Amino acid sequence: MNIKQIAGIVILILAFIVGCLGDYGLVRRQPPTDNKMTLAELKENWEDYHIYFGKWGGRYPYKILFDPKNDEIRLVGDGWYRIADQQALSEKISETQVVWGSHEVMIIEGPDRQFLGYMNCSWGSGAHGYASFTPSAYEVKLIDKHTVYVRGGI
């Protein structure tokens, strides 16, 4: 094989990969700036969001999803449980902080890097063992122009 054939194959493979990624978004860390969204701000402005939590091992809460109410996109997925009021949100935040060692507010983005919401992800060696929940552990997939599926790693 000559260099032109190899380059052509590489270009085709890259085009295929980029084409397949077209319907997927991601959960990523917030940029290191002074105006990061905090869990305290999300808690304070809870009425601006549809809020859900996910469980690790079917038992311990480890992630809290904040879906902005003021946009046309709904975040959906399996294993999410609705949080209906600020008291319930406070309780889930407290539970995650007791069970897990650390947490971080991450950004959920769509396929075109459009902001979709926030996810408070917990990890660490907490009271119930060690778990690592990195941004790459989450699946974010476009269902239609108004619906995005978000699935946590566990």
Which tokens hold the place of 119?
């996810």
Q: Is there a domain that residue 98 lies in?
A: yes
154 residues of the chain, pLDDT tens digit each: 677 666 556 554 544 444 444 578 888 888 887 789 999 999 999 999 999 988 776 666 778 999 999 999 999 988 889 999 999 999 988 888 777 767 789 999 988 889 999 998 876 544 444 444 555 567 889 899 899 998 865 5
Q: Is there a domain that residue 67 lies in?
A: yes
Q: Is there a domain that residue 75 lies in?
A: yes
Which tokens hold the place of 111?
């396929």
Q: Is there a domain that residue 87 lies in?
A: yes
pTM: 0.76
| CB hemisphere CA count around 8 (13 angstroms) | 5
How many Å from the N-terminal Cα to the C-terminal Cα in the chain? 44
| Helix or strand (DSSP H, E) at 31 | none
Q: Is there a domain that residue 118 lies in?
A: yes
Which tokens hold the place of 5?
């054939």
Which tokens hold the place of 80?
């999410």
Q: Is there a domain that residue 5 lies in?
A: no
Q: Is there a domain that residue 105 lies in?
A: yes
The one-letter amino acid code at 141 reads: K
Number of domains comprising the chain:
1
Query: In terms of residue numbers, what domain contains 83?
Result: 24-151
